[in-house]
Amino acid sequence: MDIRGALNVRAVLQQIKQIRPAVIAGCVTLVLAGVTQAQTAPTARFPLVSIEKGKALFERTCAQCHGRNMVNAGTTVYDLRRFPVDDPDRFVQSVTKGKGNMPSFGETFAADEVKLLWAYVGSRGGKEP
Ligand code: HEC
């Protein structure tokens, strides 16, 4: 290799060094975008924070009958995993007014708390754990 060739190689190496941070930044951005995507995907209908708050309310008040994480046999108590996700009105109605053997929670929860409960139940309606 003559001196020119060596210089060219050097120049190319120099260029690679210069663009490396940009390439790394690009990869990091892509990875972060992927992570963000993965986090927002299941919460598309409900903000994650609402789901979390609703779950906390649920575990305190509803889980004693409906089971932790909504898991129960579904024989005597409604299996909430099967609740139709497109019927929030029915949810609010049943929770605030009661239904069958379920007491009403209209006095227990404010309307926005019922919404949080719905975020939790609606976020996994129809899905097995
Ligand atoms: C004392 C036990 C008990 C507790 C506590 C309880 N439930 Fe229920 N729940 C039931 C029973 C029993 C049913 C089935 C009612 C029926 O269809 O006769 C039911 C049914 C439901 C349904 C379905 C109603 C429908 O439209 O078919 C929803 C939604 C529901 N519960 C939500 C909740 C939420 C949210 C909480 C907590 C705030 C809660 N439940 C607390 C016993 C309970």
Which tokens go with 80? Answer: 């909430």
pLDDT of 27 higher than 50? no
Cβ burial, residue 18 (10 Å; 0-12/13-18/19+): exposed
36: CA distance to ligand 1 center in Å? Answer: 34
102: CA distance to ligand 1 center in Å? Answer: 5
Closest protein CA for atom 32 of ligand 1:
95
pLDDT the model gives residue 28:
52
Enter the pTM of the model.
Answer: 0.74
Which tokens go with 93? Answer: 């109605």
**73 pLDDT band (50/70/90 cuts)?**
confident
